[in-house]
Amino acid sequence: MKRTLIEELYLNKGKEVKIQGWIHRLRKLGKIAFIMLRDRTGIVQCVLDCKAIDIKGLKQESVVEVIGLIKDKQGADEEVEIEVRALNVISNVKEDLPIEINKSELECNLDTILNNRVLSLRNIKTNSIFKIQAELAHSFQEFLINEGFTQVFSPKIVAEGTEGGTELFPLQYFEKKAYLAQSPQFYKQMLVGAGYERVFEVAHVYRAEEHNTQRHLNEYVSLDLELGFIEDERDIMALEEKLLKFMLNRVSEKCSKELNLLEAKLPEYVDNIPSLRLEEAVEILKTKYNRTELVNDLDPEGERQICEYAKEYLNSEFLFLTHYPRSKRPMYAMPAEEKLTHSFDLLFRGLEITTGGQRIHNYEQLVESISSKGLNPESFNDYLQVFKYGMPPHGGLAIGLERLTAQLLGIKNIRETCLFPRDRERLTP
């Protein structure tokens, strides 16, 4: 007999089926036992007669196979249950569970949750986070492919850093010293110039940042895109707005069960995301929030406050900040008037989820910009090559997948939106 998934049971009322999964909960009431069986698609109640079927030794979280009849569940409209005819244990639990999985919330601290990651992921709320994350990654790709982008895979083992050599993980590459890539920045620009014009990458990036905060991971998934033949950074911002709208619509469509479970509220709309120049934002924070000490940049508290402001006065949970000063941006950022750049950040519910902007495409200008940052242009020969041979105006952005997931679902610590986080202390599991 072929396996039937739990979400398909309602289509097969009255039939005998085989279902397989984990024992989510087990309860005995006199001669009757109730098993809540869980597979990847849902949970169903299985009712069995303890005289006919031996449930001694059966443990919560064991993997079992149940053959039974699909019946309407008593007292519950539209729900079904299984009248068990046979039950086989496929894989038994050997030890007491170190954490309780089948509660609505995992009632333990984050370290315990992460130390027991495969078990904590069986909690249906925790499990849902990563189904939503997968849909975010998938819809990012779908949207861009439809917009003529090519998916690329750039190396993560690199000879030089992209942002000036700090915060790199060093690596022994045979006889050579190498580093883990901080971002695919150089490669995605090079591939725009290699004729692909529009490229995206979904891959890990690595930051050897020493601080251990709720919003940083040392290894995270970066949703990167880069495109040529743009006017300026506003083309990138317009693209991101369409992209996010598509992604959130898809999540809303495909993950309604998971969103409900997590009581997550998606932004009501993603149209006309408001935009403030960084200096305007700083001015607002000074005036409205008494943040007189802020100069030309926002701290995490400032990001939260300006998002509060945007929600109240601009009616948006998203906010673009633009015109960052050159001193705060990498050497490839396209300069704008008055020591500013054609760059932007996107804040969402109090946190930066994207950095993007137009890049320099003129060779001499780029060499000069590298030097002005105190870096040696010769270290960037491979990167610089494409700028000698015809490079279109271009720009791009990167979205932190774990951050986007966290902000969307109202999760405070980004470690909870990473399957197996790597932070200052954590290297396992």
Q: How far is the CB of 330 from its own copies (least distance, A)?
A: 19
Q: Is 402 labeled as ligand-binding?
A: yes
Structure-token pair, residue 88: 């086989």
Judged by CB under 8 A, the chain residues 238 through 297 that form the site for its own copies are none
Contact 167, 360 (CB under 8 A): no
Distance CA 418, CA 108 (A): 17
How remote is the C-alpha of 119 from its chain's centroid? 21
**Residue type for position 401:** L
Q: Is 175 labeled as ligand-binding?
A: no
Q: Candidates 16-24, 25-33, 241-249, 350-358: pick the segment binding its own copies (CB under 8 A).
A: 16-24
Judged by CB under 8 A, the chain residues 185 through 204 that form the site for its own copies are 187, 190-191, 193-198, 202-204
Q: At what angle do helices 124-146 and 233-254 cross, to 10 degrees?
A: 130
How remote is the C-alpha of 400 from its chain's centroid? 6
Q: At what angle do helices 300-313 and 278-289 cross, to 10 degrees?
A: 90
Q: Is 400 labeled as ligand-binding?
A: yes
Q: Candidates 215-223, 232-240, 275-283, 308-316: pick the segment binding its own copies (CB under 8 A).
A: 215-223
How distant, in Å, are the alpha carbons of 34, 78, 197, 372 from that of 399?
Answer: 45, 41, 19, 28
Q: Is 263 labeled as ligand-binding?
A: no
Structure-token pair, residue 242: 């369409």
Distance CA 211, CA 298 (A): 18
Judged by CB under 8 A, the chain residues 29 through 48 that form the site for its own copies are 38-41
Contacts of 299 (CB under 8 A, 6+ apart): none
Q: How far is the CB of 376 from its own copies (least distance, A)?
A: 16
Q: Which of 122, 215, 216, 415 touches its own copies (CB under 8 A)?
A: 122
Judged by CB under 8 A, the chain residues 345 through 364 that form the site for its own copies are 361-363
Structure-token pair, residue 314: 């601009």
What count of Cα atoms within 13 Å lies in the side-chain half-sphere of residue 356?
30
Distance CA 207, CA 205 (A): 7
Q: Is 417 labeled as ligand-binding?
A: no
Q: Candidates 104-112, 123-131, 255-263, 277-285: pick the segment binding its own copies (CB under 8 A).
A: 123-131
Q: Taking CB under 8 A as the rule, does residue 138 contact its own copies?
A: yes
Q: Candidates 175-183, 261-269, 306-314, 407-415: pick the segment binding its own copies (CB under 8 A).
A: 175-183
Q: Is 107 labeled as ligand-binding?
A: no
Q: What is the signed CA dihedral for 39, 41, 43, 44, rounded to 10 degrees?
A: -90
Site string for its own copies, 54-93 (x = CB under 8 A): -------xxx--------------------------xxxx
Q: Which is nearer to its own copies, 352 or 423 (CB)?
A: 423
Q: How far is the CB of 74 from its own copies (least distance, A)?
A: 28
Q: Is 209 labeled as ligand-binding?
A: yes
How big is the site for its own copies, counted in residues (CB under 8 A)?
A: 95
Q: Candidates 237-245, 263-271, 272-280, 391-399: pick the segment binding its own copies (CB under 8 A).
A: 391-399
Q: Taking CB under 8 A as the rule, does residue 388 contact its own copies?
A: yes
Contacts of 405 (CB under 8 A, 6+ apart): 129, 132, 133, 136, 411, 417
Q: How far is the CB of 283 from its own copies (least distance, A)?
A: 36
Q: What are residue 400's DSSP bridge partners? A: 222
**Residue type for position 264:** A
Separation of first and last alpha carbons in the chain: 37
Q: Is 27 labeled as ligand-binding?
A: no
Q: Taking CB under 8 A as the rule, does residue 22 contact its own copies?
A: yes
Q: Is 368 labeled as ligand-binding?
A: no
Going by the annotation, the residues of the binding site for L-aspartate are 163, 207, 355, 359
Going by the annotation, the residues of the binding site for ATP are 207-209, 215-217, 352, 400-403
Going by the annotation, the residues of the binding site are 163, 207-209, 215-217, 352, 355, 359, 400-403
